[in-house]
Amino acid sequence: MTDLEAITRRAIDDWVDEPGALLPILHAIQDQLGYIPPSSVPRIARALNMTRADVHGVMSFYHEFRSEPAGRHVLQICGAEACQARGCRELEAHTQQRLGVGYHQTTLDGDITLEQVYCLGNCATGPSVRLDDRIIGRVTPQRMDRLLDDIATVPLTIQPAGGEG
Ligand code: FES
């Protein structure tokens, strides 16, 4: 049994007898893997006596569920009302153009997954974004460029310099 299968099996076993089991199962799998593998969907559907379309329907309704692994960084732009009033539409158009991806897509180099979210709890200082675990307010298109430049220029892992001392 692969890790994916084992994680899916455990999530199902933990929740299958609970009412409304689908969401906790999906969360349990995504918490561990970062996404819901396509091969998990028929297993979940069978266990809950649902169709695959039912499971896919719930996954696409709740945008936080991914059906493929995220990039090295996840960039979320808030599209809720307060951020709309502060210019998030311009910000999202600028960001999508700069990255060459739409929402829920990952840049070709695997660096950044772009997602839309509805409220990051930072409404007073919108437009707000979350970059990995960091919530950032007052993000103009220019500031977004700087954030993206920083991601591109900071090495993700620092390699130790050659072994000689
Ligand atoms: S509306 Fe954007 S953070 Fe709340």
So what's the pLDDT on residue 160?
53
Q: Calculate the alpha carbon distances from 127 to 75, 80, 89, 124 in Å.
A: 13, 9, 9, 9
pLDDT tens over the chain, length 165 residues: 678 899 999 999 999 999 999 999 999 999 999 899 999 999 999 999 999 999 999 998 887 899 889 999 999 999 999 999 999 999 999 999 999 999 989 999 999 999 999 999 999 999 999 999 999 999 999 999 999 999 876 555 554 554 443
Cβ atoms of 95 and 114 closer than 8 Å: yes
Q: What is the DSSP letter of 125?
A: G
For residue 7, give the 3-state DSSP assignment: helix
Domains of the chain: residue spans and CATH: 3-61 (1.10.10), 73-151 (3.40.30.10)
Cβ atoms of 112 and 75 closer than 8 Å: yes
Q: Which atom of ligand 1 is nearest to the CA of 137?
A: 3
**Annotated binding site for [2Fe-2S] cluster, which residues?**
78, 83, 119, 123
Any ligand 1 atom below 6 A from CB of 78:
yes
